[in-house]
A and B are shown apart, each in its own frame.
Chain A
Amino acid sequence: MNSLLYLAVQLKKCMKYVLLLLPTILFLSCNASKTDSPEKTENIEDVKIEYAQHFNLSLKDNAYFLEILDPISGKVESSHTIAPNEKHQAISLSATVVGMYAILNQQKQLKGVSSMDYVYDAKVKSLFKLGNIKEFGDETTNSIEKIISSDANTILYSGFGDEFPNQKKLEALHFTILPIYDWKEIHPLGKAEWIKVIGALTGKMDEAIAFFDKVVKEYNELLQLTESIDNRPTCLSGNLIGDIWYTPASESYVAHLMKDAGANYRYAETNGQVTLQFSIEQILKDNENTEFWINPGYNSKSKIDKFNPHIKHLKCYNNIFCYSPNMSKFWEQSAAEPHHVLSDLIHIFHPEIKGINTLYYYEKIN
C-alpha cells in the first residue's frame, strides 16, 4: 500500500512536467487526427432521462450533451458533447457497459475490455479471438502505451470519484474518457437507463430508448405483483470479508430490489447510502429469524463455510441464493435488464406467485 501511495505522489509530481509538455503533445496529435472531420450532419432523436441520478443527457445543437454528475455532491463532474457522426471506438473496463454494447448489438465498436475472464457475450468473445477486441486490465493495471496504440478513442470505466489514470495525457491525445456511475444508482431502472449513454455513443439511441422503455414496462408489471403483499420475508445480503460483514445500505440498489420483490431487508431501517459494516456477532444476533440470504459472493456452501464457518447456525443458511452459476452473465446483463433480477427475487421470496416459473440469473446454493 505504501508503495502505491509513493507512486501516486510521484505521479502527481510528474504531472507538472506533463502539463509543461502539453502544448507539444497537443500540436502533434492535432496533426495526426485531422482525417475524420465531420462531413454531414443528420437529425438525431431527442432524449429524456427519468430514473438515473448520476448523468444528464440532452439534445443541444444536434448533438448529445452529456453531463456526468458526481454521485456524492450531484454537481457536474465532466461534460461531453457527442456529435452524431463521431465514431466512438471504446475500451470498456466495465462489464455492465460491455453488456449494453451487446444489447445494442454494437460489439464491433468495442476495442477493448478489462479481462476476457469476465466476458459473457459470445460475439465479444469471437471478436477477441479475431483480435479486434483486446484485454487492457483494470483501472490500476492498464498500460497507457497499450491504450494509445490501440484503435480506440473512448474509455469507459466504473467511476470511483477520481480521474482515470493518465486522464490528462489521454485527453490531450483526443481520448474521450467517461466514468460510468451506473453502480452508484439506487433505482434499478436508473442503473438500466445508462444504456442511453451507450446509445448516444454508438449512434443507436432509438434502439436504446426502445429497449429501456420495454424494460421499464416489464419491471413495473412485475412490481404490481408484489405491491399488495403483506407477508414479506426478511432477507440478508453480503458476506464477511476478513472479520467484517459488508452489507448494502438501506438506500441501495440491492435494498431497492429486495423491497420491490416483496421482501423485508433486514437492515432497511438504517440510514444512508454507505455500505454497512457489521461484526459476525452482530449479524448472528440480528438474523435469528431471517429467512433468506442473497448474494453471498460464493456459489457453494463449502466455500461459504470456509470463510464464514459460523453462519451455518442461522436459519437462512438453508435459503441462500446467488447469481450463479454464471457470474459474468449476471455482471454483464443484469444492470440493463433489472426486470430479470426482479423476477428472480420475486420467485425466490414468493414462490406462490404465479406466472414466474424459472430463475434467470439466480440459483439456490447447496
Chain B
Amino acid sequence: MSISKRHTIIILVLLLLLPIIALVHLFAGQINIDGSDYLSSIFSYDSTDSYQIIAREIRIPRMIMAIIAGAGLSIAGLLMQTLFNNPLAGPYVLGINSGASLFVAFSIMTGIPFFTSTLGITANALIGAFVFGMIILFFSRFLRSQVSLLLVGLMLGSFTGALVSLTQTISEADELKVFTLWALGSLQKVEFGQILPIFSVFFTGIILVAFTSKSLNILVLGEENARLLGVNIKKARLFIIILTALFTGLITAFCGPIAFIGLAVPNLVRMIFKTQSHLTLLISCALTGAIFILLCDICIQLIEPHFMIPINVFTSIVGAPFVVFIILKKLR
C-alpha cells in the first residue's frame, strides 16, 4: 500500500470518528438529554424547557468549541513547530497565549465598555497573540538552539504573568474578578448565537492555512533552501504568525488558555503519519486535535458527578507526560 493511500485511509477514519465522538460528547453529560431534545432545541426551540436550554445553549456550543479549540490549537502548534523547526514549540510554550492573556488583562482592566465587550476582548486577544508571535519571531533570529527558544518563550510567559499580576494589584476588585474568571478557561461560556461568527472566523483561518502548506513543506528544508525554491521567507513567516495568532487569539478569547494541545497533537500526528507533507499534517492535526479535546471533555463530563476539573487542567494532566516523552525521544 502506498504511503499516500495509507494517509488517505487514516484521514477517512478520523473524518468518520469525529462526528461519532462529537455525538457521544453531546450525550455524555450527567443530565439525561435525549435526541428529541436536541432536535426540538434547534427546530422548535422552547426557551422555557430546561432540557432544551441545556441542549441548545450548553451542550451544542460546548461540543463545537471543543472541536474549534482542538483543531485550531493543534494547527497553531504545527505552524509554530515547522516555522521554528522545533518539535516542542507551540502557542502555549512560546508564550503566544500569554500575549493574548496580557492584552485581554489590559483591556479588561481599563474598564472601558468596548474593551470589556466580547468583541473588544477578542480583538485584544488576537492583537496580543500577534504581537507576542512577532516578539518570539524576532528572538528566534538570534537563537540557534531549540531549547533557547523554548526558554525565551517560558520567560515571556513568566514576564507576562508578572505584568498581569501587577495590573491586578492596581485594578478595581470587580475588573480583577472578571479577569480571574476569564483566565480560568472554559468551553461552556459560548452562547448558541455566538457559534456562527466564531465558526466563520475559524473556518476562514482553516481555508487560509491550507495555503501555507506549500511554504511549510519547503521551510522544512531550512531558510536558504526555501529561499532558493522561491519562498518569500519574510512574507511566509508573517503569514504563518498571523494565522497562529488568529487561532490562538480566537480560542483564548472564548475558552481561556488551554495548555499542551498545540504541542502534543502535532507530534502525535507526525508519529502516526510519518510525513512532512503539511497539507496531510494540517488536515490530520485539525481532526486529531478536535477528537482529542472532545475525548478529554467527555472524560471531564463523566467524572463531573464526583469532582469537576477545568479543561485546561485536564489537558495538562494528559499532555504534560506526553511532552516529557517527546523530550526524552528527541531532545535528549
Contacts and interface: CB of A to CB of B under 8 A. Distances in A.
Direct A–B contact in complex, judged by CB atoms less than 8 Å apart: yes
B308 A288 contact: no
A313 interface: yes
A243 B308 CA distance: 8
B181 A313 contact: no
B44 interface: no
B304 A284 contact: no
A243 to B, nearest CB: 5
A303 B184 contact: no
Interface string B158-193: 000000000000000110011001101110111100
B188 A282 contact: no
A162 interface: no
**The 10 A-B residue pairs with the shortest CB-CB distance in the complex, in nearest-first order:** A242-B184, A288-B50, A313-B53, A310-B57, A309-B191, A243-B186, A307-B181, A281-B31, A244-B308, A281-B54
Contacts of B51: 285
A145 interface: no
A310 B186 contact: no
Contacts of A307: 178, 181-182, 189
Contacts of A242: 181, 184-186, 310
Nearest to B180: A241
Contacts of A127: none
Interface string A276-289: 01011110110110
Given A243-B308, A279-B30, A288-B50, A310 B181 contact: no
B188 A280 contact: yes
A117 interface: yes
B319 interface: no
A275 to B, nearest CB: 13
Interface string A283-298: 0110110000000011
Given A306-B178, A310-B53, A281 B189 contact: no
B29 interface: yes
Contacts of B59: 281
Contact of B308 (A277, A297, A306): A277
Interface string A311-338: 0011000000000000000000000000
A313 B57 contact: yes
Contacts of A280: 58, 188
A338 B54 CA distance: 37
B162 to A, nearest CB: 12
B30 A284 contact: no
Interface string B1-35: 00000000000000000000000000001110000
B47 interface: yes
12 contacts: A242-B184, A242-B185, A242-B310, A281-B29, A281-B31, A281-B58, A284-B54, A285-B50, A285-B54, A303-B178, A307-B178, A310-B191
Interface in B40-72: 47-48, 50-51, 53-54, 57-59
Given A279-B308, A313-B53, A241 B30 contact: no
A322 B118 CA distance: 24
B30 A282 contact: yes
A117 B116 CA distance: 22
Contacts of B47: 313
Nearest to A115: B173
B50 A310 contact: no
Contacts of B116: 306
Interface of B: 29-31, 47-48, 50-51, 53-54, 57-59, 116, 118, 173-174, 177-178, 181-182, 184-186, 188-191, 304, 307-308, 310-311
Interface of A: 117, 240-244, 277, 279-282, 284-285, 287-288, 297-298, 303, 306-307, 309-310, 313-314
A310 B58 contact: yes
Contacts of B181: 240-242, 307
Contacts of A279: 29-30, 304, 308
Nearest to B193: A309
Given A241-B184, A307-B182, A313-B50, 16 more contacts: A242-B184, A243-B186, A279-B29, A279-B308, A284-B53, A285-B31, A287-B50, A297-B177, A303-B174, A303-B178, A306-B116, A306-B178, A309-B189, A309-B190, A310-B191, A313-B57
Nearest to B308: A244
A343 to B, nearest CB: 27
Contacts of B173: 117
A241 B58 CA distance: 16
Contacts of B308: 243-244, 277, 279
Contacts of B30: 279, 281-282
B109 to A, nearest CB: 15
B53 A243 contact: no
A234 B308 CA distance: 26
Nearest to A300: B174
Contacts of A313: 47, 50, 53, 57
A306 B113 CA distance: 12
Contacts of B53: 284, 310, 313
A51 B120 CA distance: 51
Nearest to A244: B308
A241 B31 CA distance: 20
Nearest to A239: B181
Residue in A281, A282, A284, A285 whose Cβ sees the most chain B Cβ within 10 Å: A281
A64 to B, nearest CB: 36
Contacts of A284: 50, 53-54, 58
Contacts of A240: 181
A243 B310 contact: yes
A244 B307 CA distance: 10
A188 to B, nearest CB: 25
Nearest to B116: A306
Nearest to A315: B48
A284 B177 CA distance: 23
A306 B181 CA distance: 10
Contact of B188 (A117, A243, A277, A306): A243
Contacts of A297: 177
A288 B48 CA distance: 8
A284 B54 CA distance: 7
Contacts of A282: 30-31
Contacts of B184: 241-243
A142 to B, nearest CB: 14
A282 to B, nearest CB: 7
